[in-house]
Homo-oligomer: A and B are copies of this chain.
């Protein structure tokens, strides 16, 4: 008995599909049209050196003519990697994360990678789910900033167990750096130190600080930078000039400065842990008839867009958002198998930049041209 021919059946399915839908053109289609093997088409489209220039051009022309679009899914499945990176951020509101993501998207695109962006909405549950989603999508690596609500870190361990490189930025999971896990962060300590040193240079002597929850690295580092800058300049930190708040909003700033102003010895400067806090404080100061910076100088943190829009504009610490995004991607790419990227340190720490504006400038700047 003759072996059944399989062509007829095949042909039928394909024709049927063709009728259903004006189907997208595939490599096989091009091969049929040009009477060459699919592999040749594949090679030609990739401009492989082992295909003749003539066929290469013919193929590319035909592909363009028929609006051939490579099927990334199939290629990724076959090749075993997807040229795609996963990014998981707590949210995309405010200034910081969008800006960082922007830097990432740019760098990734430049290196020929796609990016899938997900949000955890600051919850651990969604964080875990999105991580799974990214793994399902077979991303080659994941960049993540952990949600505030996250308390356990097993889900990140699992990513590493899958052999997927992980880069934390800004908010990093504690104790995970090592094989397959790296971090990119801002040097909050240095930023805070610079901010407070600047206030001291401007002649301030009683500098208050509104801090966030100190169990978070970020807030603790800012606080420590504040303390060390004071002591390095011979000032003794006054515990009464520290206001700790669970959130770092306008309301916190208003409450903080109000508390300070009621002290027997009120402060002559405020280092706020965020720009929003600085704004809240400035509003109260204005209500009480105090001038910024003459009576109280103010410095914020993050260099949010609105710092230039308030009256006066607020001195702030820039977080190098774009750069952070770029470096996160560079770091991740350098971790991919077969990467030739220059090796970056496993923990990148960015130097912040102090942007001095009117809210802290007490000294007349003596204009000397040099």
Contacts and interface: CB of A to CB of B under 8 A. Distances in A.
Interface of A: 21-22, 24, 67, 69-74, 76-77, 82, 91-94, 97-99, 101-102, 105-106, 109, 114-119, 121, 126, 132-133, 135-138, 158, 161-163, 250, 279, 283, 286, 305-306, 309-311
20 contacts: A24-B162, A67-B162, A69-B132, A69-B135, A69-B162, A70-B136, A71-B77, A73-B76, A73-B137, A74-B77, A77-B77, A92-B92, A97-B98, A105-B117, A114-B133, A115-B118, A116-B116, A250-B309, A279-B309, A305-B306
Nearest to A72: B136
Q: State the copy count for this chain.
A: 2
B69 A73 contact: no
Contacts of A118: 105, 115
Contacts of A286: 311
A115 B105 CA distance: 14
Given A67-B161, A119-B102, A138 B73 contact: yes
Contacts of A126: 109
A135 to B, nearest CB: 5
A93 B92 CA distance: 10
Contact of A138 (B72, B138, B283): B72
Contacts of A311: 283, 286, 310-311
Contacts of A98: 92-94, 97-98
Given A71-B138, A306-B306, A310-B310, 19 more contacts: A21-B163, A22-B163, A71-B77, A72-B137, A72-B138, A73-B73, A73-B76, A73-B77, A74-B77, A92-B102, A93-B98, A94-B305, A105-B119, A106-B119, A106-B121, A114-B116, A114-B133, A115-B116, A309-B310
